[in-house]
Structure 1
Amino acid sequence: MAAAPSRLRSPWGPPRPGRGSIPILRRHFLVWRKTAITTVLGDVMDPMVALLALGFGLGSLLPGIDGAPYITFLSAGSICMGALYAATFEATYSAFSRLHLQRTWDAMLNTPLSLDDVVAAEILWAGAKSMKSGLAILLVVALLGVSREQTLLWVPLVLVLLAVTFASLALVVTAIAKGFDFFLYYFTLVVTPMVFLSGVFFPVTQLPAALVGALRWLPLAPAIELVRPLVLGRLPEHPWLNVLQLAATALAAAWLATALMRRRLLR
């Protein structure tokens, strides 16, 4: 692929996206609009099934946690899990399809758009779909009366940070993937352990004490620590520490994804 000289700077320099990301986002939206209903169902069904089956089914057999019914405790984890899966699928399988099968990236890079514009747009688009999934589950939580606390109004702001973080991490994997099968490693070795060990289904304090401190650094853990108190009707403890961890993870992952894409496509 031919590249303009301005695109051949050191791959490890900071990302420098510009206004070119905006038409790319519009392009993704116009394509998505054609299959909006099916993609919305796909984004929310898995977390919703877990919420309804475990929350109402298993939850009726379990005592409350932190003074709240189990389904209320679980709903916070379901919101974060929905955001995680939506961002991950979009920034891996869908982004890889645009990169290799559809050759969409090739077409865009043969215009004045820069690679940094394309990468930033992919992160933002995956983040937007992540937000959509998280907000859909949040709406169901409110409509079912699982939680109607005023603090739920803060959840969308938290979801913005979660969405960008999860999307950036997934795009790092896409940058090194050789084929669709490679994503199975990420889901099996990273996503699934995060879901089961970050407090989605039970308090992490139930795990061995030696693991609790280490699991705190999983990206999903601070997300749940921010969202769960809001669902339960209170403000998070030490919120800025969790925000700082997520922001640092998002920044580092976005930078790494950009650098790896530069090495892959512009060398």
Structure 2
Amino acid sequence: MIEDFAAALPANAWNWVAVWRRNYLAWKKVSLVTILGNLADPMIYLFGLGTGLGIMVGRVDGASYIAFLAAGMVAVSAMTASTMETLYAAFARMHSQRTWEAMLYTHVTLGDIVLGELAWAATKAFLAGTAITIVTATLGYAAWPSILYALPIIALTGCVFASLAMVVTALSPSYDYFVFYQTLVLTPMMFLSGAVFPSDQLPHAFQQIARCMPLSHAIDLIRPVMLDRPIGGIALHVGVLGLYALLPFFLSMALLRRRLMR
């Protein structure tokens, strides 16, 4: 069994780039539409909630509500972009189009494919999150010089949620099952993790749950940077996000090997 798992690991440090490049070339034809689509949903939240509730809420944690919300929407956009890519697009390449099957007849391994898919999903998350960051900074809701420090955090957030979504992709028999993950996991996470309102206003039990959620750690890194404030507990937040990126990656490879190689 150990030998079988080892055979599924990435063959070398660069094979995954071919998988990433294949996805990039397919996406390039519809890149503008995709980027605008990724911008639309978080911007609706930002201006709908930010301007509407912002009048009633006032300042939150020393910042305007729309500036507070902007940081949350950056993290949410990275989460959504990487998740949708790994769920629907990667599942199509694996199941419907059988692109993965064709790749496995070449020198790439299953690990190369999974790593390439995760890297591509993280790239899309980076593009989506960066676009939101630039828009909010242009409108004056984020500090211009310090937003550069948010970019690697956005990429890491994309890796985390791509890795988690790959486990769901490995387990799902069809597209219909993805809605359970979106409704029962992602939506509650968005509201519990401090994206829309401070999580310290939640009951104590929910605060403890929120601290275990990856989105909460991503927001705790992104928000201070966008508001030009010092970040507390950087090592803890990065360490937790790193674990959320690595552990599901190995789990998804084991599940996918069982699914594809049987």
TM-score category of the 2 structures, normalised to the smaller one: over 0.9
CA distance in 2, matches of 1:42, 1:17: 35
Aligned counterparts of 1:153 and 1:17: Cα–Cα separation in 2 = 33
Structure 1 position 124 matched with structure 2 position 139: no
Structure 1-normalised TM-score? 0.94
In structure 2, what is the equivalent of residue 190 of structure 1? Answer: 185
Residue equivalent to 1:181: 176
What is residue 169 of structure 1 aligned with on the other side?
164
Whole-Å separation in 2 of the counterparts to 1:70 and 1:10 = 52
Q: Which has the higher contact order (CA 8 A, sep 6+)?
A: 1
Q: In structure 1, what is the Cα distance between the partners aligned to 2:9 and 2:185?
A: 25
Q: Deviations over 1:78-111 (max 9, x none)?
A: 0000000000000000101111111111111111
1:94-113 map, 5 Å: 94-113=89-108
| CA deviation string 1:199-232 (max 9, x = no partner) | 0100001110122112200111100111111111
**Which residue matches 1:207?**
202
Flag the 1:165–1:117 CA change in 2: closer, same or farther, 3 A.
Answer: same
Decide whether aligned partners of structure 1 residues 190 and 13 sit closer, same or farther in structure 2, where only a CA change above 3 A counts: farther
CA contact (8 A) 1:13 1:259 kept: no
1:16 maps to: 10
Alignment-mate amino acid for residue 4 of structure 2: S
Determine what percentage of the aligned residue pairs are the same residue: 42
Structure 2 unmatched runs, 5+: none
Which one of 227, 232, 244 corresponds to residue 237 of structure 1? Answer: 232
TM-score computed with the length of structure 2 as normaliser: 0.95
- Following the alignment from structure 1 to structure 2, what is the Cα–Cα distance between the partners of residues 103 and 13? 20
Matched AA of 2:223: R
Name the CA shift for 1:17/1:119 in 2 (closer, same or farther; >3 Å).
farther
CA distance 1:161–1:75, shift in 2 (3 Å): same
* Contact 2:71–2:195 (Cα < 8 Å) also in 1: yes
- CA RMSD of superposed structures (Å): 1.7
What is the CA distance between 1:15 and its match in structure 2? 3.6
| Contact 1:11 1:263 (C-alpha < 8 Å) held by counterparts | no
CA deviation after TM superposition for structure 1 residue 149, in Å:
4.5
- Are the structure 2 counterparts of residues 220 and 12 from structure 1 closer, same or farther at C-alpha, using a change threshold of 3 Å? farther
Alignment correspondent of 1:155: 150
Q: Count how many residue pairs are aligned between Structure 1 and Structure 2.
A: 261
Counterpart in 2 of 1:3? none
Match of 1:130, SS state, is helix
Deviations 1:129-156 (A, max 9, x none): 0111000000101111112243212000
